Amino acid sequence: MVPISIEKFVNKHCKNNPEENPVHLRESLIQAVKDKKKGATCTNCGQEIWAIGSAVSHLGCFSCLTGETDSSQDYEIDEVCWS
């Protein structure tokens, strides 16, 4: 995955999604990062969660949230981007 900081992702996402509240998004991302560090797993398949997808949508891994298997072009928060 492509590492990105929380601040950079918030700016980028809110530019593309003007209805998104940056304060809420940032809080959700911080929470998702905490969850991932604690070893949270996808409720559907048991893989480690995708912090960005879990913040924007709901708790889950990349494959379950997007329906895709190739995550090489997608962002993940830098501090939990270990795969």
Q: Where are the beta strands (DSSP E) in 1-83?
A: 2-4, 75-77
Q: Give the binding site for Zn ion (CB under 5 A).
A: 42, 44-45, 47, 61, 64
Smallest separation (angstroms) from Zn ion to the CB of 27: 23
Smallest separation (angstroms) from Zn ion to the CB of 78: 22
Smallest separation (angstroms) from Zn ion to the CB of 43: 8
Which is closer to Zn ion, CB of 18 or CB of 46? 46
Four-residue CA torsion sign, 30, 51, 53, 74: positive
Q: What residues have CB less than 8 Å from 30, skipping those under 6 apart?
A: 6
